[in-house]
Chains A and B, each alone.
Chain A
């Protein structure tokens, strides 16, 4: 007979952890996407030569393990006496990490819009901004969406690393329960299921939008 010491209040504790995971992910993906769009447009617009310094910084954020970035980021904010809470530090580091990947996704999306289509838009008297807004953005979003969904899901799982700064998110909450209840398999199973449940709507949203757009392209 299956027997567990896991109580309802423990489940509520896990839910709170999941809430923290969602909060860190939402803030980081939102900020990272805004920055990624900005950097992506800059990279596309100024060309590889002028964008080299930006590309270098983004490459650093893409290649150094996130855990190291978090620990160094935390130490840096302490040295600079910024007095950031762990939540702020986590979101700042994760946002830059997300932005580094998002920049490439955005650049690739813009790149996928044929030059001739953009010329046609400009030849109708549209400004650079109007071309970006009404032609490039909708077409680039269609191309970039699957990668962006993948990035978002990746960041959500990677956000578990913020436990090293003391934030009690889903994985940390599970660890605490494992230590107390000594039922690692069962608790990690629940933890995994919760990750799956919060990922599912995001993954499905991507599928839904792709289906909605596909008959036109």
Chain B
């Protein structure tokens, strides 16, 4: 379970998270929508400890992320994150990209790591690309590789930060299909997205962020069809 309690975070004088509360249960899919600068992406990077927080608490399975005693490297093995920019390791082949962390972080043998990597790459439809270098692939393929790379660590939770925003519209579909597949397999996911149709389809709950505040959170039918908050209404009207 991911528990976010009253989290505040500022960059300089700009407060980007103004007291966020959110609990995500195992197996749940929560999507976060909202305009740029509403704090959605920052929240994800705080959840796996890439960004410090100013106050409040984030707990993952009871472990406080920002406590001094927490071994973040260990905690991050549980929480996979995929970014808007896929951040392939350009000097490694697709297979090596996915194998690296299982080998070095989990300490698996070459054979075992390769087995896992091949399985995950097959899962996201890249079985043909094992020996290829990332720059020889399309953005969508690289993004699917990044997903496989995160999955190879067998995380309990997956965070997706606008994973389709930097993609050619033609390539968005293949990445969303991968996410749909994960959701249907019962992966616990928090997705920040601008894809409203996707959010409606896969989410158990949808949260709307506005200027650092979680303005509304509800099951998708309710949030999209009968939003309560004035800002949510405005946002949805603008995106439809």
| Binding stretch for chain A, among B62-70, B75-83, B180-188, B218-226 | B75-83
Interface of A is mostly: helix
Complex CA gap A130/B85 in Å reads: 21
The answer on a CB contact under 8 Å between B105 and A216 is no
**CB of B20 to closest CB in A, whole Å:** 20
A215-B133, A216-B133 known; A116 and B105 CB under 8 Å? no
A116-B83, A120-B146, A216-B135 known; A126 and B90 CB under 8 Å? no
* Chain B interface size range: 20 to 34
Residue from the list A119, A127, A138 in contact with B50, Cβ < 8 A: A119
> Residue on A with the closest CB to B133?
A216
The answer on a CB contact under 8 Å between B153 and A125 is yes
The answer on a CB contact under 8 Å between A217 and B50 is no
The answer on a CB contact under 8 Å between A139 and B91 is yes
Asked if B74 lies at the interface with its beta carbon under 8 angstroms from chain A, I say: yes
Residue from the list A117, A124, A215 in contact with B105, Cβ < 8 A: A124
The answer on a CB contact under 8 Å between B74 and A217 is no
The answer on a CB contact under 8 Å between A120 and B87 is yes
Mark out the residues of chain A between 126 and 168 whose CB falls within 8 Å of any chain B CB in the assembled complex: 126-127, 130, 134-135, 138-139, 142
Complex CA gap A216/B74 in Å reads: 31
Contacts of B89 in A (CB 8 A): 117, 120-121, 135
Asked if B73 lies at the interface with its beta carbon under 8 angstroms from chain A, I say: yes
Contacts of B73 in A (CB 8 A): 122, 125-127
The answer on a CB contact under 8 Å between A119 and B74 is no
Complex CA gap A151/B233 in Å reads: 62
Contacts of B100 in A (CB 8 A): 124, 134
Contacts of A116 in B (CB 8 A): 83, 85, 87
Contacts of B104 in A (CB 8 A): 126, 130, 134
The answer on a CB contact under 8 Å between B101 and A139 is no
A216-B90, A216-B91 known; A120 and B135 CB under 8 Å? no
Contacts of B91 in A (CB 8 A): 138-139, 142, 213, 216-217
The answer on a CB contact under 8 Å between A119 and B90 is no
Asked if A53 lies at the interface with its beta carbon under 8 angstroms from chain B, I say: no
Complex CA gap A78/B211 in Å reads: 68
Complex CA gap A121/B87 in Å reads: 9
Residue from the list B50, B81, B101, B150 in contact with A126, Cβ < 8 A: B101
Asked if B205 lies at the interface with its beta carbon under 8 angstroms from chain A, I say: no
The answer on a CB contact under 8 Å between A123 and B76 is yes
**CB of B67 to closest CB in A, whole Å:** 17
Residue from the list A120, A127, A135, A217 in contact with B83, Cβ < 8 A: A120
Complex CA gap A119/B84 in Å reads: 12
Contacts of B40 in A (CB 8 A): none
0 or 1 for each of A18-35: is its CB under 8 Å from B? (1 = yes): 000000000000000000
The answer on a CB contact under 8 Å between A125 and B76 is yes
> Residue on B with the closest CB to A118?
B87
**CB of B216 to closest CB in A, whole Å:** 29
Asked if A47 lies at the interface with its beta carbon under 8 angstroms from chain B, I say: no
Complex CA gap A124/B101 in Å reads: 6
Contacts of A215 in B (CB 8 A): 133
Complex CA gap A216/B81 in Å reads: 25
Mark out the residues of chain A between 30 and 73 whose CB falls within 8 Å of any chain B CB in the assembled complex: none
Asked if B203 lies at the interface with its beta carbon under 8 angstroms from chain A, I say: no
| 6 pairs of residues in contact across A and B, judged by CB atoms under 8 Å | A119-B87, A120-B146, A123-B50, A124-B76, A125-B105, A215-B133
Known: A117-B87, A123-B76, A124-B149. 7 other contacts (CB 8 A): A120-B87, A121-B101, A122-B73, A123-B50, A125-B76, A125-B105, A134-B100
8 tightest A-B CB contacts, nearest first: A120-B87, A124-B101, A125-B77, A125-B76, A125-B105, A216-B133, A123-B81, A138-B91
